[in-house]
Every structure is written in C-alpha cells, then in structure tokens.
Amino acid sequence: MSLYAAYAGNLDARLMTRRAPHSPLRATGWLNGWRLTFGGEHMGWEGALPTIVEDPVSQVFVALYDIAPMDEESLDRWEGVGLDIYRRTRVRVHTLDGEEPAWAFALNAYEGGLPSARYLGEIADAAESAGAPHDYVMELRKRPC
C-alpha cells in the first residue's frame, strides 16, 4: 500500500469510499510548507481547480489514506493523471503519530483563477467532515469565488 494525502474534495470520506473503496483512512494531518490554491481555470467545468503549491509559511489539512494497489489506477483516472490534468508529487504529512511520507496530486497548470462558489462550498464541507479545525474551514468558506 502507498500513502495518499487527500485535500480539497477528497477529504470527504464518503467520496473516497467510492473513488478508492479498498483504501482505508489512516489519519489526518498537515502538509507544512504547502498552500491550498487554485489554477487551471480553463481545465475545469466550474472555474479553477484545487492544487497545492509550496509555501514556507502555510499549511494544508489532509486526510491520509492507505491506497490499495487496485485503487491507485482508479484514483489516477479520476484525477485526470492520464489526461495531464494532475500529477503525483511527494509530500510529508505531519500527524499526531509523527511524520509520514506520502503522495498527493498537484495540478499541471499555473496558479490563478477562482473556483465556483458551489465547488468551494463542497471543499469546505469536506474539510469540516474530515475534522479540520474550525478556523481552517472558515478560511475556506471566506475565500473569493
């Protein structure tokens, strides 16, 4: 199994059970030195798509999943890896049990553009359902769209 750091909509455990049904949630944690942002507005159906970029003073709340080999290809397809929309990137997740090496999806497009209000609301709801701190969820809800 490999460890996947889910952010944005994939923080929703119900959604992940459909996208990766054989892959259990291990923990939640933080990507320190990364920032949640949006880009590739021309690639999305409802505005810009979520991504992470390195930023030494920021952090992103994530859910850490043990991805079963049978779910990896399905998750890559869902995220558009074969279409060059997203790529995998290596990250370190800080959990209550220590630091874990993992991978996350990063957008293959420049940062910029705004997500739709509906999509941003889904991301905030997913973060809340995964146990993200209230201030993190509120920052998501207040973002421009």
Number of alpha helices (DSSP H) and beta strands (DSSP E) in the chain: 4, 5
pLDDT tens column, 7-36: 999 999 999 999 999 999 999 999 999 999
Residues 6+ positions from 121 with CB-CB distance below 8 Å: 141
pLDDT band for 87, please (50, 70, 90 cuts): very high
With 0-12 / 13-18 / 19 or more C-beta atoms within 10 angstroms meaning exposed / middle / buried, residue 113 is: middle
Active site (annotated) includes residue 41: no
CATH number, domain containing residue 79: 3.10.490.10
Q: Which domain holds residue 88?
A: 2-142
8-12, 41-45, 112-116, 137-141: least confident range: 41-45
| Confidence label for 44 from pLDDT (cuts 50, 70 and 90) | low
Share above pLDDT 90 across residues of the chain, in percent, rounded to a whole number: 93
- How many residues are present in the chain? 145
pLDDT digits (tens, 9 = 90+) for 63-76: 999 999 999 999 99
Residue 38 clears pLDDT 90, i.e. is over it: yes
Catalytic residue among 54, 72, 79, 128: 79
52, 104 in Cβ contact below 8 A? yes
Structure token pair of residue 10: 């994939």
Q: How confident is the model at residue 111, as a pLDDT?
A: 92
Number of domains in the chain: 1
Instruction: Consult the annotation and say whether 110 binds a ligand.
Output: no
When the pLDDT of each residue in the chain is averaged and rounded to a whole number, the result is: 95
Contact of 62 with 28, CB cutoff 8 Å? yes
Amino acid at 80: G
